[in-house]
Structure formats: C-alpha cells, structure tokens
C-alpha cells in the first residue's frame, strides 16, 4: 500500500511539473532525448528483473515457470487484448493486452517475506514475475513493429512491409550483443573493472539500438557482487523516474473507462491462466497465484515507450496500473480472510476447545476424560 502511494505521488509530481512548466505532452514522446530515456529505463528494468532470479530454485518448478512465461503470457495477452478489442472495436487493444500481460517483479519482491504462501509458491511467483517481464517486453516491441506495418500508430522503419527482415536483423543484434558480453564476462573474471565497463557499454548500446532482449539475457550471467545491494535501489529509482514521466504525459488527459477495463480484465486473465498451470499445488497457493496480477515498472516503461509511436497509450495504461494494483490488494485481503482456518489439533474425538480444562482448573481435574484426550496441544 505504501509503495502504491509513493508511486502515485511521483505520477502527480510529474503531472504538476508538466502544468507548471507548460510541457507539450504531444510532441515530447517524439524527441530523441525522450526516446533514449525511455529505452534506458527499459534496459535497467529488464536487467534488474533477470538479475534477481534465483536460477537454482527456479529449476525445481521449471515446468510451471516455463509454461507460465511462454504459453501463459501469450494466452493472457490474447484474452486481455481480444476481449477489449472487441468491446472497444479498436485493434490497438491487442497491443495493449501484450503490454500489461506481465506481473511486476518489484511488487512480488515485497511479498517474499509474507508467509501466506508456501515457500514453493513464493519461488514460483518470483521466477514467474521475473521471467515474464523480458518475454512481455520482447513481444510488445515486435508486436508494435507489426502493428505499424498494418497502419496503426506512427510510421516506423518497419512500416514499409519489411518487418520480417527487420525482426531477424534485430534478433541477430540482440543475440550478438549478449554473446559478446558473455565472452568478455567469462574471460575477464580477474579484471572486475573491465566487467563493469562492458556492462555499462551494453546498457548504452541497448539504449541507442533498442536491443532489450540482450539486456534480459545479460542479467542471467553478468551479476557483479557489488550490485547485489544496489540493484533494488537502482530499479526502484528507475520505476519512480518512469512514474514521474508518466505523470508528465498525463497532462494530455486520461482514458479512465478504458484503463479501468484493461486493468480489470488483466487481473481476471491472470486467474484464468494461473489456475490450470498450477494444478497439483495446494489450493491456497493456487488461489494466491491466481490473484497475483500487479503492475509496476515494466508496464510504466512500456507505456512510455509505446507512446512514441501510439499516441494515447499512456492515457489508458496509467489507470490500468492503478486498477490492477487495487484489485490485487483487496482481492488478496479477501482471500486471506477466506482461506484462514483454525489451527489443526491432534485429537480424534471432540475438538480441543471441548476437551481443554477451564483456565481456572488444573489440567488433571477432569479425571473422567480418556487418557488420550487429556493432552491438549498449545494453541
């Protein structure tokens, strides 16, 4: 709740700054500085998402996680985008459905000390939220490329019908950058300063080229120990900077109805996808994973990035983020109350409350009770 309040405060601060300094929200997304800043934040967010994945723990439930971040993400995007594209008669919602199909890893990180889910469920959710971020970003980037080739949004380099070639070239650049980083990282272990320099260079290259898949892959192996304590702060700072940027663009208005609908459908889509994927897990864990949809840094940064080519995306995604997070907060509160159960007892006969002696009597006062029922567990 506190984090959502701080996030909202940064959005309002950005909105206030736009009003005070009379910022032109219509032309800002088309400037080179805005483009580079949006990609820089996206690179930081993706690297931070994969940097924090515990690969050893994720292997234990790799079948669920792989299904969730591949089939699950695609099905969620189709449900969200398809329902709203039909309801609003606007194909742009197919792209927005992809953009909000992920679960925010920073929000999930705050739940890792919460005992309402089992350790296994927390591990699955942490890996799910970390891996689906880069998958969603990649799908969004390429879906945007395809969308512009069909006449949606502002024309791009791929809008001339050559998007398949553009896709392959971009994919080769991503894989090449990641492979180069891996080679340097492997053979410069005794020169940490060079590793940090290469990591910084990769961020800069991704910022200017848009090779975001590379940053997600680099986060799986390039993990300097010194960044372990700094990464949460870096990604959080990136999120709040993105929230302020979101507020600046909101000076152009908010599409409240579409945003609320998008957030609600995204929350329901998570439940529809998670329930079959988590069969075999305890019921309480399945319910909490079904109600796990939250939005944060990735949704915000994708909104800023998509605004470059699709005017009005921010006006929809801003209320979407608030709606999904409020549904998560209240939905899980109701689940916690619904799933709460009295502590189990070891007696086979009447309940422990019935067999326990009165507080004012010694435990041996009731000699009529069978010996097996005189021992009552501490509650």
Give the tens place of pLDDT for each residue, 55-92. 777 787 788 888 888 889 999 999 999 999 999 999 99
Of residues 300, 297, 324, the one with CA closest to residue 314:
300
Query: How far is residue 364's CA from residue 187's CA, in Å, rounded to a whole number?
Result: 73
Mean pLDDT over each residue of the chain, to the nearest integer: 82
pLDDT at 227: 85
Give the tens place of pLDDT for each residue, 145-189. 788 877 777 655 444 555 567 778 888 999 999 999 999 888 887
pLDDT at 265: 97
The answer to whether residue 124 scores a pLDDT higher than 90 is no
Query: How far is residue 291's CA from residue 61's CA, in Å, rounded to a whole number?
Result: 19
Look up residue 321 and give its two tokens.
């983020």
pLDDT at 376: 39
pLDDT at 143: 85
Give the tens place of pLDDT for each residue, 288-326. 899 999 998 889 989 998 998 898 999 999 999 999 999
Set out the domains of the chain in order of their start, with CATH numbers: 2-337 (1.20.1530)
Q: Which burial class, exposed, middle or buried, applies to 221 when counting CB atoms under 10 A from its CB (0-12, 13-18, 19+)?
A: middle
The answer for residues whose C-beta is within 8 angstroms of residue 124's C-beta and 6 or more apart is 61, 64, 65, 68, 278, 281, 289
The answer to whether residue 358 scores a pLDDT higher than 70 is no
Of residues 74, 62, 45, 47, the one with CA closest to residue 123:
62
Residue 108: pLDDT band by 50, 70, 90 thresholds? confident
Of all residues in the chain, the percent with pLDDT exceeding 70 is 84
pLDDT at 318: 93
Longest dimension (CA), the chain: 91
pLDDT at 359: 47
CB 328 within 8 A of CB 274: no
The answer to whether residue 351 scores a pLDDT higher than 50 is no
Give the tens place of pLDDT for each residue, 323-338. 999 999 899 889 888 8
Give the tens place of pLDDT for each residue, 182-229. 998 888 877 888 888 889 999 999 988 888 889 888 988 998 888 888
């Amino acid at each position: 709740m506190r984090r959502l309040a701080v996030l909202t405060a940064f959005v309002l601060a950005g909105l206030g700054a736009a009003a005070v300094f009379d910022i032109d929200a219509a032309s800002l997304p088309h400037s080179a500085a805005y483009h580079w800043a949006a990609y820089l934040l996206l690179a930081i967010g993706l690297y931070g998402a994969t940097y924090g994945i515990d690969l050893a723990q994720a292997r234990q439930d790799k079948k669920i996680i792989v299904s969730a971040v591949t089939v699950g993400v695609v099905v969620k995007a189709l449900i969200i985008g398809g329902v709203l594209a039909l309801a609003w008669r606007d194909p742009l919602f197919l792209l927005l459905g992809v953009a909000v199909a992920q679960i925010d890893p920073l929000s999930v990180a705050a739940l890792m000390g919460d005992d309402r889910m089992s350790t296994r469920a927390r591990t699955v959710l942490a890996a799910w939220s970390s891996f689906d971020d880069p998958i969603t970003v990649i799908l969004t980037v390429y879906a945007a490329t395809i969308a512009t080739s069909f006449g949606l949004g502002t024309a791009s380099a791929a809008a001339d019908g050559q998007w398949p070639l553009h896709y392959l070239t971009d994919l080769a650049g991503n894989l090449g950058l990641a492979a180069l980083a891996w080679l340097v990282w492997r053979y410069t272990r005794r020169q940490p300063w060079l590793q940090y320099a290469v990591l910084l260079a990769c961020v800069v290259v991704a910022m200017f080229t848009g090779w975001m898949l590379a940053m997600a892959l680099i986060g799986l192996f390039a993990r300097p120990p010194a960044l372990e304590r700094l990464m949460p702060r870096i990604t959080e700072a990136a999120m709040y900077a993105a929230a302020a940027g979101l507020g600046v663009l909101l000076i152009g208005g908010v599409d409240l109805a579409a945003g609320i609908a998008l957030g609600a459908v995204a929350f329901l889509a998570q439940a529809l996808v998670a329930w079959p994927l988590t069969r075999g897990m305890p019921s309480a864990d399945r319910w909490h994973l079904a109600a796990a949809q939250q939005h944060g840094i990735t949704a915000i940064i994708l909104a800023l990035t998509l605004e470059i080519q699709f005017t009005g995306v921010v006006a929809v995604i801003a209320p979407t983020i608030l709606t999904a997070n409020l549904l998560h907060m209240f939905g899980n509160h109701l689940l916690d109350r619904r799933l709460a159960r009295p502590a189990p007892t070891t007696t086979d006969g009447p309940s422990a409350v019935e067999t326990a002696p009165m507080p004012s009597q010694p435990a041996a006062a009731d000699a009529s009770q069978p010996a097996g029922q005189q021992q009552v567990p501490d509650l």
